[in-house]
Structure 1
Amino acid sequence: MEYEFWNLTIDRSKSRNAVCHMLTQAAEYQGWELERLRRDVTGKRTVRLRRKIIRLRSTL
Structure 2
Amino acid sequence: MTLEASVVHGDWEYQPVRLPRDVTRLNATAELGLRSRFGGWELARTLLYADGTRKVWLRRKLSRMREGAAV
| Large movers: runs of 4+ above 2 Å | none
Q: Deviations over 1:18-52 (max 9, x none)?
A: 00000110001110000001111111000100001
Identity of aligned residues (%): 30
Match of 1:23 in 2: 32
Which is helix-richer, 1 or 2? 2
2:15 is aligned, of 6, 26, 31, to 6
**What's the Cα RMSD here?**
1.2
Aligned length in residues: 56
Query: So what's the TM-score if we normalise by structure 1?
Result: 0.86
With the length of structure 2 as denominator, give the TM-score of the two structures: 0.74
Instruction: Identify the residue that residue 42 of structure 2 maps to in structure 1.
Output: 33
Structure whose alpha-carbon radius of gyration is higher: 1
Tell me, what secondary structure is at the counterpart of 1:38? strand
Q: Report the CA distance between 1:55 and its aligned residue.
A: 1.2
Give me the whole-angstrom Cα distance separating, in 1, the residues matched to 2:21 and 2:64. Answer: 37
Higher relative contact order (CA 8 A, sep 6+): 1
> What amino acid sits opposite 1:20 in the alignment?
T
